[in-house]
Amino acid sequence: MDLDELVFHPWTVQGPRTVPTFVGGEGSHIIDIDGRRYLDFSSQLVFTNLGHQHPRVVAAIKAQADRLCTLAPAHASDVRGEAARRIVEVAPDGLGHVLFTTGGTEAIEHAVRMARLYNGRPKVLSAYRSYHGSTTTSIHLTGDPRRWASDTGAAGVVHFFGPFLYRSVFGAATPEEEGERALAHLEQVILQEGPSTISALVLESVTGSSGVIVPPPGYLRGVRELCTRHGIVHIADEILTGFGRTGTWFAADHDGVAPDLLVFAKGVNSGYVPLGGVLVGDPIHATFTERPYPAGLTYSGHPLACAAAVAAIGAMHDEGTIPAAARLGADILGPELAKLADAHPAVGDVRGIGALWTIELVRDRQTKEPLVPPGATGIANAPMAAFTKACLDRALLPLVLGNRVHVAPPLNITDTDATTGLSILDEALTAADGFL
């Protein structure tokens, strides 16, 4: 019996699957049960920022397991405190405390709860092209089609359009116009909804799995100013982008923005043990020095996860991981993906920053019709299925979402491996071209 058949899998139709079974990993590669090595160009779900089996992180988990495997969150913990210290040190100014969770979607839930308790307002704003998680509040905040099946329209969420020049809803011709018009639109949404009713605005500093959309310079500063002016809590969702993915510690750093709350997970410890959290701004933290915060998690600040975070952040400092990610994007991924766009008619757009890029596939470059429609399955998804098969046949593990191929290798990938992965993408894109 295939043991995989006993597992209920998220985001997919249940039933027998034809997928590799992975049993090991090393650096930028993951190894299947037959010993075949795959180049991981996805960092799994964009979280193995330090690759697989980084020796420093693995050693830290082992050492902590020998000392103390688990501890309830009410108790003080040396490793939990050290993890918080290291996270606060690299965070934007004014974020002086950490609430630990076991993942990103829980962190979103808690950030929104904190904001609502802080200012007593009901509504929360989020962008249409966004993904914030799959629990009740976070799935309502999500703006892309993954929300539809669970959306009751009753969570106090109001969506707005963020800047996206390739598919601009504002008729903009330049990044500057797109940013200005997106801010004007957001201000109108705030005014029409009533600023006094809006508790928080949740925004990915760079849109991740919903399209890898890098905001124009100044947009995040404009959002921050609108939030400050109207007393709205600015929650930065850095679950996917935090800890070096975009070439800075946090994507908000590109615009010099300090949010009121910052949500993280994934790259904080390269995903080796589940860990997420909320960096809490000083004014919000102060309100809970006078009253208890009415929520918690059994595994908040789990010692094994925190030990992994301490080691991972230390490794990032010592190994120059953040500047390496910036160089990877500027010198290798960006230029080489642009060449692929020129060579393949199915490529409508290439965009990204640092070690986070996407290739958007279309049927027609002029109309920008997606190569497959949202939520496509079966024959409708044949072009992306053919592309994925072509990658796997060549031992490349891609991240395919809708009509997009996300390019998100480990931040410390070698230039040779990065070039190999891009060459395989070049070959696999020919399969997508065949459906035009």
Token pair listed for 45: 């779900």
Token pair listed for 168: 């601009």
| Cα gap 80→434, rounded to integer Å | 52
Q: What is the DSSP letter of 213?
A: B
| Cα gap 294→292, rounded to integer Å | 6
Token pair listed for 53: 């089996």
| Cα gap 16→18, rounded to integer Å | 7
- Angle, CA 423 vertex, CA 418 and CA 426 arms, to 5°: 130
- Name the residue among 265, 260, 220, 261 with its Cα closest to residue 239: 265
CB 45 within 8 A of CB 399: yes
Q: Are strands 233-237 and 198-204 parallel, antiparallel or unpaired?
A: parallel
Domains, the chain, ordered by start: 3-53+320-433 (3.90.1150.10), 57-319 (3.40.640.10)
Q: What is the pLDDT of residues 225-281, one digit of tens each?
A: 999 999 999 999 999 999 999 999 999 999 999 999 999 999 999 999 999 999 999
Residue with tokens 């031992």: 395
Angle between helix axes 415-433 and 334-343 (nearest 10 degrees) is 20
| Cα gap 28→380, rounded to integer Å | 32
pTM: 0.96
Helices (H) and strands (E) in the chain, counts: 13, 16
| Cα gap 419→39, rounded to integer Å | 11
- Could you give the dihedral angle defined by the CA atoms of residues 212, 147, 22 and 66, in that order, rounded to the nearest 10 degrees? 90
Token pair listed for 42: 């996805």
Q: Are strands 95-101 and 276-281 parallel, antiparallel or unpaired?
A: antiparallel
Task: Read off φ and ψ for residue 207, nearest 5 degrees.
Answer: -60, 130
Contacts by residues 15-21 (CB-CB < 8 Å, ≥ 24 positions apart): 20/392
What is the sign of the dihedral through the CA atoms of 157, 212, 360 and 410?
negative
Residue with tokens 């029409």: 192
| Cα gap 252→255, rounded to integer Å | 6
Report the pLDDT value the prediction gives residue 1, as an integer from 0 to 100.
62
Report the pLDDT value the prediction gives residue 5, as an integer from 0 to 100.
86
Angle between helix axes 78-90 and 303-319 (nearest 10 degrees) is 40
The CA–CA distances, whole Å, from 3 to 6, 8, 16 equal: 6, 11, 10
What is the per-residue DSSP string for 47-104?
A: T-TT-BT-HHHHHHHHHHHHH-S---TTS--HHHHHHHHHHHHHSPTTEEEEEEESSH
Task: Read off φ and ψ for residue 390, nearest 5 degrees.
Answer: -65, -35
- Compute how many other C-beta atoms are within 10 angstroms of the C-beta atom of residue 4: 11
Q: What is the DSSP letter of 335?
A: H
**Lateral strand order in the sheet of 29-32:** 22-26, 29-32, 37-40, 396-397
Report the pLDDT value the prediction gives residue 18, as an integer from 0 to 100.
84
Reading phi first (left if > 0) and then psi (alpha if -120 to 50, else beta), residue 360 is in beta
Q: What is the pLDDT of residues 13-44, one digit of tens each?
A: 888 888 899 999 999 999 999 999 999 999 99
- Name the residue among 280, 279, 274 with its Cα closest to residue 303: 274
| Cα gap 87→184, rounded to integer Å | 34
| Cα gap 434→24, rounded to integer Å | 34
Q: What is the pLDDT of residues 154-188, one digit of tens each?
A: 779 999 999 999 999 999 999 999 999 999 999 99
Residues with pLDDT less than 50, the chain: none
